[in-house]
Structure 1
């Protein structure tokens, strides 16, 4: 049974929205005792249909502090070339060197073969592939502990079926699966495990009633996935109990049938 941890530091990227998966991960890990450093980029979320309130990241920070762990955060554009090193430096200065990296940040817009542009594909690549790869590399390059390092990537089940209308997203998230497998072999000698989680369709506030009614029958449990579902899986994967699990793409999606 997993107990409280002490002195371990987790980075979670892409935590702008209180209803999002990133916020749920922060809460779950903080309740277990992990110190938290999260990033957010409100400019992206404000452009999306769900939008956000500007104070959501600070509200989350206040909520996490009440759990009696150390909490720090920063607004960071992960498309910047120096963002990965900037983030690792900031975490080290504020909290100490991190034990855990959760690559939760993602860029996603609807497009298909008929309207995909080079500019839009590049935006997906810069966040979903480049930032994830370089941040993972920077994390590992400076990891100086004998064991216990964890990298978790969030993917979307591209290997399980097509995602029409999300060509750029599916393409770049599929690359994350490949990254996870190869990077896990490279980092095992350093005591770092690398895994990916596909949470399946998760209700983070973007689903309309029509979308929910369409998806619900596809879940054997009779309900749609919630952010805490994936957060609980991540809590296990970053624990000492999961030190023999690496290089896996885990489909924690409640038996969702495409």
Structure 2
């Protein structure tokens, strides 16, 4: 896709998937706007890093669990650097639960970010896109392979992220006439800072390609889906897991 403005949600730290996506899109010439988790100091440093690539970069600290977050975020990016044509819904909320610990409050928190936040931001993006006269847009959602097997003690997370698969398929059909493609990426288990050495030792033998996934693996796929080469791909969940075996 011709370089434009890319909006990426859920940037948390130097080594996460969101930062890798921002870097890769910036290298392809996209201006970047990201949302962070309120980490003072680091996000400003990262913003300068992106600008050094030679593109513009804006940011906002917005709680995507709030009902008004979609309008606030799109207002912010439009005011700072312009209306985006690429939306990457990377933000997620995840807390281990299991059936003995699942509560209404825990479900609500997962729902607010993983489902409602993603869905409302996507449809608000599409509504505003339709008024711009632009011809090509991209929505790229992040999933975690919920359709490929159980995620024990992740009931709330697996359920709410799994809903994004259905949302991706249906929204893609509704807004295809606008020229917007809607796809999702499942990067599989990714070493983005949360894995202990024990977890790494357990997971690594399960990857057919011989290593654990890195944030840059997901970023390359997102960059492709944001490009002109992916203009004919929509409504898909692409599993990019390096041959990961769940058994």
* TM-score, structure 1 as length reference: 0.93
Give secondary structure in 1 for the equivalent of 2:11: coil
CA drift at 1:63: 0.6
> In structure 1, what is the equivalent of residue 45 of structure 2?
59
Corresponding residue pairs, total: 244
Task: Work out which of the residue numbers 62, 65, 73 in structure 2 matches 1:76.
Answer: 62
CA drift at 1:81: 1.1
> In structure 2, what is the equivalent of residue 176 of structure 1?
164
Task: Work out which of the residue numbers 195, 202, 218 in structure 2 matches 1:207.
Answer: 195
> In structure 1, what is the equivalent of residue 33 of structure 2?
37
CA drift at 1:203: 0.3
Tell me, which stretches of 5 or more residues in structure 1 are unaligned? Answer: 43-52
Tell me, which stretches of 5 or more residues in structure 2 are unaligned? Answer: none
In 1, distance between residues paired with 2:78 and 2:193?
33
Correspondence 1:20 to 2:16:
yes
Equivalent residue runs for 1:225-236 within 5 Å: 225-236=213-224
User: C-alpha deviations, 1:42-61, integer Å up to 9, x for none?
Assistant: 3xxxxxxxxxx642211211
> In structure 2, what is the equivalent of residue 194 of structure 1?
182
CA drift at 1:106: 0.1
CA drift at 1:189: 0.3
In 2, distance between residues paired with 1:165 and 1:92?
39
In 2, distance between residues paired with 1:98 and 1:20?
22
Partners of 1:13 and 1:105 within 8 A in 2? yes
In 1, distance between residues paired with 2:124 and 2:206?
39
Relative to structure 1, is the Cα distance of residues 96 and 255 closer, same or farther in structure 2, using a 3 angstrom cutoff? same
In 1, distance between residues paired with 2:40 and 2:119?
28
Give secondary structure in 2 for the equivalent of 1:255: coil
Partners of 1:153 and 1:195 within 8 A in 2? yes
CA drift at 1:97: 1.0
Partners of 1:16 and 1:56 within 8 A in 2? no
> In structure 1, what is the equivalent of residue 104 of structure 2?
118
User: C-alpha deviations, 1:185-209, integer Å up to 9, x for none?
Assistant: 0010000000000000000111111
Give secondary structure in 2 for the equivalent of 1:124: helix
